[in-house]
């Protein structure tokens, strides 16, 4: 259920974010534009990895149930949302 972004989409997003930052007169740049863009790319990739981990943890909790739950069923969807949100809430306590 996780969302994947291609390298091209991540690069596109990083350029758009950088353009928005350049358009803001209140933003002052201390690094080269390409270094900033690469940091944006890394940030997006790190965030995607985090959400993939949360997705895996939620899925593993469902798979560890004593009663088999069919992937895609209403029960699976409800449990997935519950476990996914639990993992997100755990992260909030650490950040």
Q: Is residue 79 part of a domain?
A: yes
Q: Are 80 and 1 in contact (CB under 8 A)?
A: yes
Q: Please determine, for residue 8, whether its predicted confidence score (pLDDT) is greater than 70.
A: yes
pLDDT of residue 3 exceeding 90, the answer is no
For 36-93, how does the pLDDT look when each residue is reduced to its tens digit (9 = 90+)? 999 999 999 999 999 999 999 999 999 999 999 999 899 999 999 999 999 999 887 6
Task: Indicate whether 34 belongs to any domain.
Answer: yes
- For residue 1, being part of any structural domain is answered with no
Q: How far apart are CA 32 and CA 68, in angstroms?
A: 53
Q: What global pTM score does this model have? A: 0.76
DSSP state of 72: T
Are the C-beta atoms of residues 51 and 3 closer than 8 Å to each other? yes
pLDDT of residue 74: 96
* Domain annotation covers residue 76: yes
The domain in which residue 87 lies consists of 7-94
2 belongs to a structural domain: no
Task: For residue 40, give the 3-state DSSP assignment.
Answer: helix
pLDDT at 4: 81
How high is the pLDDT of residue 26?
A: 95
- Domain membership of residue 61 (yes or no) is yes
- Joined together, the tokens standing for residue 75 give 């029960």
Asked whether the predicted pLDDT for residue 95 surpasses 60, the reply is no
> pLDDT value at position 92?
79
∠ Cα 73 75 80 (to 5°):
95
């Amino acid at each position: 259920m996780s969302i994947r972004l291609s390298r091209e989409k991540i690069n596109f997003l990083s350029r758009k974010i950088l353009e928005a930052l350049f358009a803001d007169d209140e933003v002052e740049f201390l690094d080269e534009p390409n270094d900033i863009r690469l940091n944006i790319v890394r940030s997006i990739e790190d965030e995607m990895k985090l959400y993939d981990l949360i997705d895996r943890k939620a899925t593993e909790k469902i798979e560890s149930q004593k009663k088999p739950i069919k992937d895609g069923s209403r029960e699976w969807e409800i449990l997935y949302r519950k476990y996914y949100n639990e993992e997100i809430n755990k992260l909030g306590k650490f950040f």
